[in-house]
Structure 1
Amino acid sequence: MLGFIINPASGYGRGLTLWNQIQRELRNRGVNYAYRITKQRGETTRLTQDLLSEHNIDTLIAIGGDGTIYEAANGLYQSGQLHNVRFGHIPGGTGNDFARSHSLSSDPIQILNFILNNQDGGKLDLLEVDGTVALNCIGVGFDAVVARYTNEATYKKALNNFKLGKLSYFISAIKAFATFRPYSADIIVDGKAYHFSSVWMIVNSNAPYFGGAMKVCPHAVSDDGEVDVTVFHCNNKMKLISIFRSIYSGTHIHHPAVTILRGKHIELKPDSPQQVQADGEALANSNFEIRVLKQALSIIK
């Protein structure tokens, strides 16, 4: 049976529009399915677990943005059914970094056809930390502060009403840039230790894109069993601005203030407490280990 998790508010209401299209198609074809619709932020993981426990779901499809698929994937992971259920995604958010990284179709009916034809998209790695999993990335520092400011901002909802939600990230970035203080960190990659000073952010990537089309780690591969660690370490704000401007093209990786490491097991030890985000959602602990779950998620694309 197909199971759907829908965030109707994603993409200024695009999630609901997509679901209406899909539901009409399912009924026309006589397809058996079950679904849950989210009503508030943070409940998708529980709803996914409920859906999986109450129905014999063999394919789970998340309709929404990166936050929706993060929570749905965690519901699947925490239910212990990663190896039994295929995972599909119909992108309906504003950033859609997961869809961009994996070249997913933006046509909901085409994706549904892939699903109904049992098209296999292969298997993807997951990044496991503190009992949760991330599909795209785990960030420590500046990017996590921007994500927190945005998620908590009253201006985000107001801008969303005018379909200007992406501006909320820009406003949050300016706010974070003015207040953020760089830190030092030890990073242990497969047992080898590295030390960095003047760190702005450490992005542990399973895919090239984050933050809405920023090509933060252009060479990251989602099924190689390794995580790419991009460290931004710079004590000059003007220089940092020039680095950030080149993130969209991916050319920032050639700057001497950007270091990329790669490994299967990562330990992060900042010298002071830092904000942490996993696929844009806040995590509590900034001293942690990241473990790659190699090819743990079966996807459809």
Structure 2
Amino acid sequence: MYKFFFLINPISGGGQGKVIYKFLPEIMESMNHADSEWKAEFTDKDRMEEQTREALSNTETLIAVGGDGTVSAVLSTMLLSGYANKVKIGLIPLGTGNDLARVLHLYKPFVDRGLLFLVRRLLLARPRPFDLWQVNGKLAMANYFSGGIDARIAHDFNQDRATGVIASNSVFFNKLHYVRRFFADRSYHLKATKIRYVDETGEAKTVDISGNRTVIIGNIPSYASGSNPFFDSDMADGLLDLVIVPNMFNFLSSIAFGSVPVIGYLFKKFVQKSIKVQSVQIELDPQEFLQLDGEDVSGKLGDQVVIKFASQVQMLSLGA
């Protein structure tokens, strides 16, 4: 049984995972961890589930090195394999958005002091309780689920990357291309969409949101690379934040001002309000654009999406 098992995405962050893999022996030795106490392995997209199951069965702490998509894949396997209450989870952020890393206070040390500093800090970090949700009984949701213009942008971005339109793995150029996709997709609205949810008091409600710009269902107080459209979000309260965005003004304001003290608070309290919910069921056009934890899931979930509480896991965090 290993104390730490590193699953490293070799292409995330322009290949920075390979740098971590190279320096891990030196780091672990400097922290007095014998070779027998840890293991590192590059992920293979065709074997990701198998690799994750093997790692979970052989470690006390699994550290995912990559973007939000890498972590989401690890957490989905964790739920389905029954290890949610047995193995602690850590993250070294190498993606474009890194929303989960931001709320776990991992992103700033990475930006300010570098990857190797973060690795050392993470190995000493304490776990904190963290809600994990399940989408259609098979996919884990740690960050957020959304449909509409933001998901359309994410879909087109991934298409551009897959077809070679985006040739760079640079985080900066990825964000720049996201901006370009926004202007290209700015006229998009939700297709026929109806939401049924159970609010925090247990009351069931139904809302038709067809024609709105987007719907965002969040578990953490970070969305789209650090913005925060959610009011008083808590990652361990057994509730989600449902935000229905009616127009472009609200969409851009949520991104621009959501994390700004005072202005963001007032905007989210009186203008773009969040609804605390226990569960969500969405009926939508099968061709609607959808994203889960920053990953494009358009066309993969059918005409109904059900999001329910799954489990609480222990996440390594550098904050309270």
RMSD: 2.7
SS at match of 1:213: coil
Q: 1:218 to 1:160 in 2, by over 3 A?
A: farther
Instruction: Give yes or no for the alignment of 1:167 onto 2:176.
Output: yes
1:137, 1:222 → 2: CA distance? Answer: 11
Alpha-carbon distance, 1:175 to partner: 2.2
Q: 1:45 to 1:144 in 2, by over 3 A?
A: farther
The residue that corresponds to 2:226 in the other structure is: 213
Offset from partner CA, 1:16-62 (integer Å, 9 cap, x none): 2233333321244324212321255x753442123335xx2111001
Q: What amino acid maps onto 2:190 in structure 1?
A: P
Q: What amino acid maps onto 1:36 in structure 2?
A: E
The residue that corresponds to 1:58 in the other structure is: 60
SS at match of 2:167: helix
2:142, 2:251 → 1: CA distance? Answer: 27
The residue that corresponds to 2:148 in the other structure is: 141
TM-score, normalised to structure 2's length?
0.80
2:84, 2:254 → 1: CA distance? Answer: 38
Q: Report the identity percentage.
A: 23
The residue that corresponds to 2:290 in the other structure is: 276
Instruction: Give yes or no for the alignment of 1:21 onto 2:29.
Output: no
| Bigger Cα displacement from structure 2, 134-143 vs 103-112 | 103-112
Contact 2:196–2:281 (Cα < 8 Å) also in 1: yes
Q: 1:241 to 1:3 in 2, by over 3 A?
A: closer
Equivalent positions of 1:38-53 (< 5 A) are 38-40=43-45, 44-53=48-57
Q: What amino acid maps onto 1:279 in structure 2?
A: D
1:264 paired residue among 278, 290, 311? 278
Paired residue total: 292
Alpha-carbon distance, 1:97 to partner: 0.8
Contact 2:130–2:235 (Cα < 8 Å) also in 1: yes
Instruction: Give yes or no for the alignment of 1:183 onto 2:187.
Output: no
Q: 1:238 to 1:13 in 2, by over 3 A?
A: same
Offset from partner CA, 1:57-97 (integer Å, 9 cap, x none): 11100111211111121222222211110101122223211
2:128 paired residue among 110, 119, 122? 122
1:300, 1:261 → 2: CA distance? Answer: 28
| Bigger Cα displacement from structure 2, 180-189 vs 221-230 | 180-189
The residue that corresponds to 2:313 in the other structure is: 297
Gaps of 5+ in 1: none
2:190, 2:14 → 1: CA distance? Answer: 34
Alpha-carbon distance, 1:218 to partner: 4.7
1:146, 1:243 → 2: CA distance? Answer: 16
Offset from partner CA, 1:186-206 (integer Å, 9 cap, x none): 222212223334211111100
SS at match of 1:127: strand
1:47, 1:19 → 2: CA distance? Answer: 16
Contact 1:86–1:298 (Cα < 8 Å) also in 2: yes
The residue that corresponds to 2:209 in the other structure is: 196
2:249, 2:142 → 1: CA distance? Answer: 32
Instruction: Give yes or no for the alignment of 1:36 onto 2:41.
Output: yes
The residue that corresponds to 1:90 in the other structure is: 92
Q: What amino acid maps onto 1:137 in structure 2?
A: Y
Contact 2:148–2:288 (Cα < 8 Å) also in 1: yes
Instruction: Give yes or no for the alignment of 1:132 onto 2:148.
Output: no
The residue that corresponds to 2:201 in the other structure is: none
Alpha-carbon distance, 1:242 to partner: 5.2
